[in-house]
Homo-oligomer: A and B are copies of this chain.
Amino acid sequence: MTDEITVIPGDGIGQEVTPAAVDVLESLEIEFAFHEADAGDHVKEETGEALPAETYDLAASTDATLFGAAGETAADVILPLREAVGSFVNVRPAKAYPGVDALRPDTDLVFLRENTEGVYSGHENRLSDDLSTLTRVVTSSASEQLAEFACEFVADGGYDGFHVAHKANVMRETDGRFRDSVLAVAEERGVETEEVLMDAFATHVCLDPTQFDVVVCPNLAGDVLSDLAAGLVGGLGMLPSANIGPERGLFEPVHGSAPDIAGEGIANPAATIISAAMLLEYLGHDDDGQAVRSAVEGVLEDGPRTPDLGGDASTDDVTDAVIDRL
């Protein structure tokens, strides 16, 4: 069966790292049908809309979408795309690789970020000249779905359990619901859990990241804490991510469009290629996914390396080196 993949390079270095990841996928013995689609600042400039309906529809109908990056319009592109694939969790591994300079080389974490609600639910109101409000939404159903996923993730990955990060000491009703729902599912499934306040997590992950493996978080907490972990492993250039839905997924590096280096052919494709490995695993090609991961890790360790990692290789050099190892 052919896997149907939407490919959205987007803006800036998205135009470089996305084709790189597609090259890696094409080098495998798997039959893919790629559907290239457009989105981002450059589309908005031309058409007034950052995310064309055709792009949305493709993401909503193919098996998986590989997305590069968007510039100023990132939120207009990525949030609807996450919805298009019906994703309820954003899986964000943050791992320090041998050979890559990291503030905390002992970091090896996976964030499981709630992907549909919290402050992202989009209910904002301008109530007066002075006052605006946002309605933060938390449901037990979304929290439980995330927790079910977390329990399976922990079992599949051979982890001991997971942490739940929240701020239920202040957001008692909403994060209280989040926490209670997640803990109830875990208890039922016999998965060990530990709670951590999101602010305390920010301190403790710096002091000793080895305390944590899998961290289940509300939407914004997952956004900020995973970016913090990116700082510990040497920058956003290294973080892949997978937005998982029941029937489709969206795979994207955590980094942005990096306009400062766009067009120079020196963008680090590692995060996008590892995102493609997550896509492979999502589609059931576990061995290929694992092979791609290992190939990237080998290249990160031995080179060639792009300038952000202290080397002088191009995006293509790195991509070729990954393919050579497959």
Which residues of A line the B interface, CB within 8 A?
A: 74-75, 79, 103-104, 119-120, 124-126, 129-141, 167, 169-174, 176-177, 198-200, 202-207, 220, 223-225, 227-228, 230-232, 234-236
Which of B133, B200, B230 sits near A227, CB closer than 8 Å?
B200
Report the separation of the CA atoms of residues A177 and B132 in the bound assembly, to the nearest whole angstrom.
Answer: 7
Q: Are B74 and A174 in contact (CB under 8 A)?
A: no
Q: Are B207 and A235 in contact (CB under 8 A)?
A: yes
Given contacts A104-B103, A169-B75, A173-B124, contact A136 B137 (CB under 8 A): no
Extra contacts besides A119-B167, A133-B135 (6): CB < 8 Å: A130-B140, A133-B138, A134-B173, A202-B227, A207-B231, A207-B235
Nearest residue in B to A226 (C-beta to C-beta)? Answer: B199
- A170 — which chain B residues lie within 8 A by C-beta? 75, 79, 119-120, 220
Report the separation of the CA atoms of residues A170 and B123 in the bound assembly, to the nearest whole angstrom.
Answer: 11
Which of B134, B167, B198 sits near A135, CB closer than 8 Å?
B134
Nearest residue in B to A221 (C-beta to C-beta)? Answer: B224
Q: Are A130 and B125 in contact (CB under 8 A)?
A: no
Q: Are B228 and A171 in contact (CB under 8 A)?
A: no
Which of B124, B169, B171, B224 sits near A198, CB closer than 8 Å?
B224
Nearest residue in B to A168 (C-beta to C-beta)? Answer: B75
Which of B140, B167, B200, B225 sits near A220, CB closer than 8 Å?
B167
- A129 — which chain B residues lie within 8 A by C-beta? 140
Report the separation of the CA atoms of residues A131 and B198 in the bound assembly, to the nearest whole angstrom.
Answer: 22
- A171 — which chain B residues lie within 8 A by C-beta? 119, 124, 134
Which of B138, B173, B203 sits near A231, CB closer than 8 Å?
B203
- A199 — which chain B residues lie within 8 A by C-beta? 223-224, 227
Give 18 pairs: A residue, B residue, CB < 8 Å, sorted on A.
Answer: A103-B103, A119-B170, A119-B171, A125-B173, A131-B137, A132-B137, A132-B176, A133-B174, A134-B136, A135-B136, A136-B136, A167-B223, A199-B224, A202-B224, A202-B225, A203-B231, A206-B228, A207-B234
